[in-house]
Chain A
């Protein structure tokens, strides 16, 4: 193992050094080094620190706002799970907008990590779902709503197909992407059965005043053109004991979240007291995102 790293380091340093010296304006040196750094998972804590500082500086300059990037590691003994009460969801899309405010996706060629589908009562056919419903008032009598976002699969096909290991499952079950390592091949988008992954088709546009400056390296830090992103269960919040933004904002309390390993958690309560199902179980992706119905139509 050690030997391999040495050789890699050497190669990369050579390339980085060559490029840096041949390039005018050596102030960019650090940027170039970052271009030829190793994968995030292979960095030492010290390297991560230096790297994050440089990133912060760059982002702050770019957006004119002081941006804070952390890399809070997973908490031991925690695996996150999510449950969504379909009988309560009213299809108001507040979760969608709260997610956008929290997670800094591009507003031009809009990226939204949550999609709310409208389905006719008495049917459960995704092909007949309406993605772009916009009535005056929700809920509508003849419909029910099903929000879909990254299901944080235990057995994620997106991770399996990525050719460069730019995406992986963290110990707390969250599937993350290193936006600085992703080559933008979009194979993961083809592999995801839940259309959870989004691509930055252009330079992301985020109005300065809407930027959320509290970010996580693997989560909501601003992304760049040409990389893939998706829901991370608000990694920047949940690793610090807070709820994801969508859970917090839901006006009817349809969204439940917690530690699957903690018998006292909300999510365990749902799993033990309601009948739950997961989307496309037949694909054996084992989502950690459960749907349930707590009440009748009412």
Chain B
């Protein structure tokens, strides 16, 4: 017992040390957030004293800014974990860290969402009435009671997963896959459930025409799957700067592509909704009219929703067009656009039209009061502080700065284990996308190699052609759907002219599996065995090929260190 206590105090004192040791920027950032939190606390104290009268909510619009933010944040929480799916499918190298950072973000977002509920309810000291056993949750009938359970379950699940991974690393052990994999497997559908149940809270109300559309839950997911990853992309880029977090550009662009699809679905569902309401033009149309064009001169929400629509549409195109999404300036602009666009759409753009006009046809125009905004900013800043500290701890554990004193020291990858740079074959022979297949074949034969990287005009690796690709071409020609469609619908001169399968670009494997020069041997082995490939192209920061590590190189390296 005493030992456990000591271990815990040890851990926490260590954690405090790494958490609060930082650069001037770090302190500035934390001070700023703390100030906002304090302002929020002050406003909340006032609200506790005076009641919710200091908000602009009233009988007509009985939910406002708080619940709007709650809804949005549940989406962020869900999407942060859902990002594990593409990371897994596309074999992002940093998947372990993506899992941890995603789950940390989910924890933060759920906590913020819960705080938004807490500040919204009239009697927070009675919140325990919703707890099973102690209180009287209205199960199974009340969706809100379900939501409370599902959200808390989600929170606990993610906390457990993160703690488990963290503790293991702290003690220098590899987390057991038999525990991690099921955890992640549960948390993914749970993330979907969390957001769906939240949508159902609104969706099930016959009194509110705007919410009472079956499209609501699917739209929730689609929009969450665009705003959540948009936030993660921004976070990833920051992390990539400040720590050893090797998420490759390829992975980032892949996520960006997913954002485009999710946003596309979201916009489509929105249009479907608009069509249905406008063509029917029945009573259900009124809230939507209020939202997009205003009713009888009441149009406070109109500029908001058009801003959102504008941002979402532009964001969609930014992410849809590969050339634009692969430019970090437009990419980041797009992330911010989509984040704000969805925040409006899933926040005030969703909650308010539920109440305007109200059940008896009255229009009460709502905009949050200064206090509501201050309290909300306070909660968001609190989330910012939490996430910063979480991330710092995660980084410290990962780099070994925070580690149990008896834990085996982290294998200093830089020194002992060889890096890709030490074992790769340099002198890379590469080909361009328009190199004919025959030529590639003779290159392979001449240099006695089994594969070559394909580079674009800026010498960036875009694919690999291996012996098997060449052999494969003979038996199976990969159908290219886009090309086929283009050949059907475009006028002749624009059609894709070249004979299929004759050039490097047609047969190469893309995206290529690449790694940076400082990738440790262990990781190289893992990638090669997991993906059942024969070689990894080693690239520099400009994505130019600088070497190749093939299976035989690995064998040689392993042999060397086993001495």
A residues lining the B interface (CB < 8 Å): 4, 7-8, 11-12, 35, 39, 109, 111, 115, 117, 125-129, 131, 148, 157, 160-166, 181-187, 189-195, 198-203, 225-228, 283-285
In the assembled complex, how far is the CB of residue B334 from the closest CB belonging to chain A, in whole angstroms?
34
Of A8, A35, A161, A225, the contact of B144 (CB 8 Å cutoff): A161
For this complex, 20 residue pairs linking A to B, each with C-beta atoms less than 8 Å apart, are A11-B133, A35-B125, A39-B136, A126-B361, A128-B361, A157-B206, A165-B137, A182-B126, A183-B122, A185-B117, A185-B120, A186-B120, A187-B201, A192-B207, A193-B206, A193-B207, A195-B60, A226-B123, A284-B206, A285-B206
Q: Is the CB of A183 within 8 A of B129?
A: yes
Of B124, B142, B357, the contact of A163 (CB 8 Å cutoff): B142
Residues of A near B486 (CB, < 8 A) are none
Question: CA separation between A186 and B63, bound complex, in Å?
Answer: 8
Max chain B C-beta neighbours (<10 A), residue from A8, A131, A166, A189: A189
Question: CA separation between A161 and B123, bound complex, in Å?
Answer: 17
Question: CA separation between A126 and B379, bound complex, in Å?
Answer: 38
Q: Is the CB of A191 within 8 A of B51?
A: no
Q: Which A-chain residue is minimally distant from B134 (CB atoms)?
A: A11
Determine whether B17 belongs to the interface, using a CB cutoff of 8 Å to chain A: no
Given A11-B134, A184-B122, 17 new contacts (CB under 8 A): A8-B133, A115-B360, A161-B204, A163-B130, A164-B138, A184-B121, A185-B121, A185-B122, A187-B144, A192-B359, A193-B207, A200-B51, A201-B51, A201-B52, A201-B55, A225-B51, A227-B122
Residues of B near A203 (CB, < 8 A) are 50-51
Q: Is the CB of A162 within 8 A of B138?
A: yes
Question: CA separation between A162 and B354, bound complex, in Å?
Answer: 18
Question: CA separation between A161 and B203, bound complex, in Å?
Answer: 12
Question: CA separation between A14 and B348, bound complex, in Å?
Answer: 42
Q: Is the CB of B205 within 8 A of A190?
A: yes
Of A131, A165, A193, the contact of B138 (CB 8 Å cutoff): A165
User: Contacts A115-B360, A195-B358 hold; do A190 and B207 have CB atoms under 8 A apart?
Assistant: yes
Residues of B near A202 (CB, < 8 A) are 50-53
Max chain A C-beta neighbours (<10 A), residue from B60, B135, B208, B283: B135
User: Contacts A126-B360, A157-B207 hold; do A164 and B123 have CB atoms under 8 A apart?
Assistant: no
Determine whether B286 belongs to the interface, using a CB cutoff of 8 Å to chain A: yes
User: Contacts A157-B205, A157-B207, A191-B207 hold; do A131 and B362 have CB atoms under 8 A apart?
Assistant: yes
Using an 8 Å CB-CB cutoff, how does the interface string of B124-152 with A read, 1 for contact, 0 for none? 11110110011111100111110010000
Residues of A near B125 (CB, < 8 A) are 35
Chain B count of residues within 8 A CB distance of the other chain: 51
Determine whether B62 belongs to the interface, using a CB cutoff of 8 Å to chain A: yes
Residues of A near B355 (CB, < 8 A) are 190
Using an 8 Å CB-CB cutoff, how does the interface string of B449-464 with A read, 1 for contact, 0 for none? 0000000000000000
Q: How would you classify the secondary structure of chain B's contact residues: helix, strand, loop or mixed?
A: loop
Determine whether B58 belongs to the interface, using a CB cutoff of 8 Å to chain A: yes
In the assembled complex, how far is the CB of residue A43 from the closest CB belonging to chain B, in whole angstroms?
13
In the assembled complex, how far is the CB of residue B177 from the closest CB belonging to chain A, in whole angstroms?
38
Residues of B near A225 (CB, < 8 A) are 51, 122
Determine whether B530 belongs to the interface, using a CB cutoff of 8 Å to chain A: no
In the assembled complex, how far is the CB of residue A14 from the closest CB belonging to chain B, in whole angstroms?
11
Residues of B near A4 (CB, < 8 A) are 133
Q: Is the CB of B357 within 8 A of A127?
A: yes
Residues of A near B357 (CB, < 8 A) are 127
Determine whether B59 belongs to the interface, using a CB cutoff of 8 Å to chain A: yes
Q: Is the CB of A164 within 8 A of B130?
A: yes
B residues lining the A interface (CB < 8 Å): 50-53, 55, 57-60, 62-63, 117, 120-127, 129-130, 133-138, 141-145, 148, 201-202, 204-208, 283, 286, 354-355, 357-362
Question: CA separation between A284 and B50, bound complex, in Å?
Answer: 38
Q: Which B-chain residue is minimally distant from A179 (CB atoms)?
A: B123
Q: Which A-chain residue is minimally distant from B142 (CB atoms)?
A: A163
Q: Which B-chain residue is minimally distant from A198 (CB atoms)?
A: B59
Residues of B near A191 (CB, < 8 A) are 205, 207
Residues of B near A183 (CB, < 8 A) are 121-124, 126-127, 129-130
Question: CA separation between A283 and B52, bound complex, in Å?
Answer: 30
In the assembled complex, how far is the CB of residue B361 from the closest CB belonging to chain A, in whole angstroms?
4
In the assembled complex, how far is the CB of residue A173 from the closest CB belonging to chain B, in whole angstroms?
19
Residues of A near B201 (CB, < 8 A) are 187
User: Contacts A131-B362, A160-B142 hold; do A283 and B207 have CB atoms under 8 A apart?
Assistant: yes
Q: Which B-chain residue is minimally distant from A35 (CB atoms)?
A: B125
Q: Is the CB of A190 within 8 A of B208?
A: yes
Question: CA separation between A93 and B267, bound complex, in Å?
Answer: 47
Question: CA separation between A97 and B533, bound complex, in Å?
Answer: 82
Q: Is the CB of B141 within 8 A of A160?
A: yes
Question: CA separation between A125 and B296, bound complex, in Å?
Answer: 15
Max chain A C-beta neighbours (<10 A), residue from B50, B52, B123, B286: B123
Q: Considering the complex of A and B, which 3 residue pairs feature the smallest CB-CB distances, nearest first? A: A184-B122, A226-B122, A193-B207
Residues of B near A165 (CB, < 8 A) are 136-138
Residues of B near A226 (CB, < 8 A) are 51-52, 121-123
Q: Is the CB of B123 within 8 A of A184?
A: yes
Question: CA separation between A7 and B135, bound complex, in Å?
Answer: 12
Q: Is the CB of A148 within 8 A of B360?
A: yes
Question: CA separation between A295 and B63, bound complex, in Å?
Answer: 41
Q: Is the CB of A199 within 8 A of B52?
A: yes
Q: Is the CB of A189 within 8 A of B142?
A: no
In the assembled complex, how far is the CB of residue B284 from the closest CB belonging to chain A, in whole angstroms?
12
Q: Is the CB of A161 within 8 A of B143?
A: yes
In the assembled complex, how far is the CB of residue A217 from the closest CB belonging to chain B, in whole angstroms?
17
Residues of A near B148 (CB, < 8 A) are 163
Question: CA separation between A283 and B359, bound complex, in Å?
Answer: 12
Q: Which B-chain residue is minimally distant from A115 (CB atoms)?
A: B360
In the assembled complex, how far is the CB of residue B210 from the closest CB belonging to chain A, in whole angstroms?
11
Q: Is the CB of A129 within 8 A of B360?
A: yes
Residues of B near A194 (CB, < 8 A) are 359-360
Q: Is the CB of B207 within 8 A of A227?
A: no
In the assembled complex, how far is the CB of residue A37 from the closest CB belonging to chain B, in whole angstroms?
11
Q: Is the CB of A186 within 8 A of B62?
A: yes
Residues of A near B124 (CB, < 8 A) are 183
Q: Which B-chain residue is minimally distant from A193 (CB atoms)?
A: B207
Question: CA separation between A186 and B137, bound complex, in Å?
Answer: 15
Question: CA separation between A195 and B135, bound complex, in Å?
Answer: 28
Residues of A near B51 (CB, < 8 A) are 200-203, 225-226
Question: CA separation between A181 and B122, bound complex, in Å?
Answer: 11
Residues of B near A200 (CB, < 8 A) are 51, 122
Q: Is the CB of A166 within 8 A of B142?
A: no
Question: CA separation between A201 and B55, bound complex, in Å?
Answer: 9
Of A39, A161, A195, the contact of B360 (CB 8 Å cutoff): A195
Q: Is the CB of A164 within 8 A of B52?
A: no
In the assembled complex, how far is the CB of residue B503 from the closest CB belonging to chain A, in whole angstroms?
61
In the assembled complex, how far is the CB of residue A79 from the closest CB belonging to chain B, in whole angstroms?
22
Residues of A near B359 (CB, < 8 A) are 192-195
In the assembled complex, how far is the CB of residue A116 from the closest CB belonging to chain B, in whole angstroms?
11
Question: CA separation between A131 and B359, bound complex, in Å?
Answer: 12
User: Contacts A8-B134, A129-B361 hold; do A186 and B122 have CB atoms under 8 A apart?
Assistant: yes
Residues of B near A115 (CB, < 8 A) are 360
Question: CA separation between A99 and B18, bound complex, in Å?
Answer: 63
